[in-house]
Amino acid sequence: MKPFDYRRAADVDSAVAMIDRHPHAAFLGGGTNLVDHLKLGITSPDLLVDVSKLPLDRVEPLPGGRVRIGATVRNSDLAADPLIRRRYPVLAQALLSGASGQLRNLATTGGNLLQRTRCVYFQDVTTPCNKREPGSGCSAIDGYTRFHAILGASAHCVAVHPSDMAVALAALDATVQVRGPDGERAIPLADLHRLPGSEPQRDTVLEHAELITAVDLPQLPPGARSRYRKIRDRASYAFALVSVAVVLEVHEGTVRDARVAFGGLAHKPWRAYRAEDVLRGAQATDETFRRAADAELAAAEPLRDNAFKIPMARGALITTLRELS
């Protein structure tokens, strides 16, 4: 591991200022992803600024029925929070399906959103990887692709985003609050992460020294129900082959509103806008659900080892919609 400096931030502004002065510095939260990358040689910052003790560890109601989740709230605490469990069960379910209990006790809300892909080629520094070393090539495209993307990939990268929590937040229309050298800004969760394009090394739209401070959840309609479904190789501590988060409002057999996001299919949490368009205003029937799934997955481009993800995603969405309607 390359030597680095370590500093603990006293407040948000000082944390941002320290990172802003150092082009090769990084924020440190729970460290469940970053520390692994330091050990593997994937990243080698000159400075780590610890933000884990900043006063951003509360889940609190906001005016208008909204809820704010501080960036340093631990995943286990967020999953157990009564307000979250009552209003946003899809989020609690997603959190409990991710990682192990020990990791959830350490991982933070902000860090979870910023975790990087678990692509085996990204984590193996002996292989070419455009995400790790731009311009070196993508080993996955002609390699083992069972876990890789079928939507939104490019010739430069076919990795998928690993977060369960981010998929649920995308379906909830969450907003990410950010503080940077130029002040504050709010980013819709669905727009936080990037598709790979020709710059797969850029996971998000965040600029250097921008720090996530909170995630805001909107009030859901009184009749809305939500659920998270994750399909994986083993029952615990495994990343999704396919996952789906659904928020559905049905009144007298008609879908009033639908929000759908997939995990395990793309370089980012995949908001299923085509499926939502089919669902809204339609009868809540299996035929409608099938048409919605087919509309979203028509653009899928599977690789050699992962064509199974198309029927798997289709079935996961149809089953979840059926359970909520």
What type of residue sits at position 194?
A: R
At residue 171, the 3 state secondary structure works out as helix
Domain spanning 5-49, CATH class: alpha beta
Residues 6+ apart with CB under 8 A from 239: 118, 147, 162, 232, 264
Taking residues 211-237, report their average pLDDT.
95
SS3 21: coil
Does residue 1 have a pLDDT over 80? no
The yes or no reply on domain 227-324 and CATH 3.40.50.720 is: no
Tokens of 205: 């739209």
Identify the pLDDT of residue 157: 98
| pLDDT value for 2 | 83
- Predicted pLDDT at 76: 97
Where in the chain are the domains?
5-49, 227-324
The confidence score (pLDDT) of residue 158 equals 98
- Mean pLDDT, residues 47-65: 97
Residue 235 has pLDDT above 90, yes or no: no
Query: Considering the chain, what is the average pLDDT of its residues?
Result: 97
- Say how far apart CA 14 and CA 195 lie, in whole Å: 31
Q: Round to whole Å and give the CA distance between 76 and 95.
A: 8
State the average pLDDT over residues 88-106: 95
127-181: per-residue pLDDT in tens?
999 999 999 999 999 999 999 999 999 999 999 999 999 999 999 999 999 999 9
The pLDDT score that the predictor gives to residue 228 is 98
Q: Cα separation of 86 and 93, whole Å?
A: 11
Q: How far apart are CA 317 and CA 15, in angstroms?
A: 41
| pLDDT at residue 99, rounded to an integer | 87
Mean pLDDT of 73-90: 98
pTM confidence score = 0.97
Q: Which of 12-16, 28-32, 105-109, 236-240 has the lowest mean pLDDT?
A: 236-240
Could you report the per-residue pLDDT of 180-193, keeping only the tens digit for each?
Answer: 999 999 999 999 99
Which residue, 198, 34, 232, 218, is CA-closest to 115? Answer: 34
Q: How much is the pLDDT for 206?
A: 98
pLDDT score, position 172? 98
3-state secondary structure at position 38: helix
